[in-house]
Amino acid sequence: MSIEAIAAEIERELRAQGNPRVGLGQKADREKHIPDPPGPRIKLEYLGARVPVVRSTTKAALRAHPVTERGELVALAERLWDAGVYDLRLAAIDALRVHIELLEAGDLETLERFVREAQTWALLDTLSISVLGPLVERYPQLVATLDRWAEDEDFWVRRQAMLSLLPALRRGGGDFERFAGYADTMLEEREFFIRKVIGWVLREVSKKRPDLVVEWLAPRTGRASGVTFREAVKYLPAEEKARLTAAFREGRPA
């Protein structure tokens, strides 16, 4: 079956299982409090298919019509992504996740386009954790691209530089020093989604390496936003959490 036919099959199934009322709720949730992007805002259609339905539909289509070549996989993802439908963009990411082993370092160019066009956390979180993170781990040279992203004018792109490091960091490995550098540069940004992701990554790191988080956060308690700080200290030992909280409330380093 052709790539076009596989994509069309996925779209038919998701349209059949979608719920317009759910779609309206998804649109409101996924586009809430999102500032205008540097370029034109992309208006997406929402079919209202729930995430488990998108995943099972994509998985079934790939099982019935195996995609074994890298070029086919990327073409399928691009066809689904370019349809301008939120549910199909999620299916595109899931197809890449299912066959992550087929992707190569050069495919980061396509993934960067997806990052710049996504304009919602609901797509970007999944893209980073399921696809970008594993790809960067497999091809360490790609951190040079993350370094560039960390300085991009688009806050979504800057955010993804940090979030793409999360999968390895949450397992107790990864490049904390690189994340820490990005986070320090962005710590005083006013954008909520930047503040939130810094805290999110620190929170996950603290589950296995709390000392790293305490050491990084202590001299910065006077600079961190409430969103960042609350996430970062959530799982820290009580004594350290109390010490850092006192300093945060007084607007000083701990």
Question: Rounded to an integer, what distance in angstroms lies between the CA atom of residue 23 and that of residue 45?
Answer: 8
Same-domain pairing of 56 and 92: yes
Q: Is 149 inside a domain boundary?
A: no
Q: Is 39 inside a domain boundary?
A: yes
CATH at residue 69: 1.25.10.90
Same-domain pairing of 134 and 235: no
- Point out the domain boundary residue: 139, 157, 187: 139
Question: Rounded to an integer, what distance in angstroms lies between the CA atom of residue 120 and that of residue 27?
Answer: 10
Same-domain pairing of 117 and 172: no
Q: Which residues contact 177 (CB under 8 A, 6 or more apart)?
A: none
Q: What is the pLDDT of residue 38?
A: 61
Range of the domain at 176: 165-254
Q: Can you state the angle between helices 70-81 and 108-118, rounded to 10 degrees? A: 10
Per-residue pLDDT 10s for the chain (254 aa) are 899 999 999 999 999 999 989 888 888 877 766 766 666 667 899 999 999 999 999 999 999 999 999 999 999 999 999 999 999 999 999 999 999 999 999 999 999 999 999 989 999 999 999 999 999 999 999 999 999 999 999 999 999 999 999 999 999 999 999 999 999 999 999 999 999 999 999 999 999 999 999 999 999 999 999 999 999 999 999 999 999 999 999 999 99
Q: Is 169 inside a domain boundary?
A: yes
Shortest CA distance to 81 belongs to which of 118, 54, 108, 56? 118
Q: Is 150 inside a domain boundary?
A: no
Q: Please, which residues bridge with residue 45 across strands?
A: 85
Q: Is 152 inside a domain boundary?
A: no
List, as own/partner pairs, every contact residues 49-56 make where C-beta atoms lie below 8 angstroms and the sequence separation is at least 24, other chains included: 49/14, 49/17, 49/18, 49/19, 49/22, 49/87, 50/22, 51/90, 53/14, 53/17, 54/14, 54/87, 54/90, 54/91, 54/94, 55/94
Q: What is the pLDDT of residue 36?
A: 65
Same-domain pairing of 242 and 135: no
Same-domain pairing of 115 and 7: yes
* CA-based torsion, 18, 19, 22, 26: positive or negative: positive
CA 24 to mean position of chain CA atoms:
22
Q: How many domains is the chain built from?
A: 2
Radius of gyration for the alpha carbons in the chain, expressed in angstroms and rounded: 19
- In the block, which residue shows the tokens 């993802």? 77
CATH at residue 235: 1.25.40
Q: Is 153 inside a domain boundary?
A: no
* CA-based torsion, 110, 13, 69, 97: positive or negative: positive
Q: Is 154 inside a domain boundary?
A: no
Same-domain pairing of 200 and 89: no
Same-domain pairing of 2 and 73: yes
Same-domain pairing of 213 and 114: no
Q: Is 87 inside a domain boundary?
A: yes
Same-domain pairing of 4 and 55: yes
Question: Rounded to an integer, what distance in angstroms lies between the CA atom of residue 204 and that of residue 166?
Answer: 8
Same-domain pairing of 95 and 133: yes
Same-domain pairing of 130 and 184: no
Question: Rounded to an integer, what distance in angstroms lies between the CA atom of residue 163 and that of residue 124?
Answer: 9
Same-domain pairing of 176 and 123: no
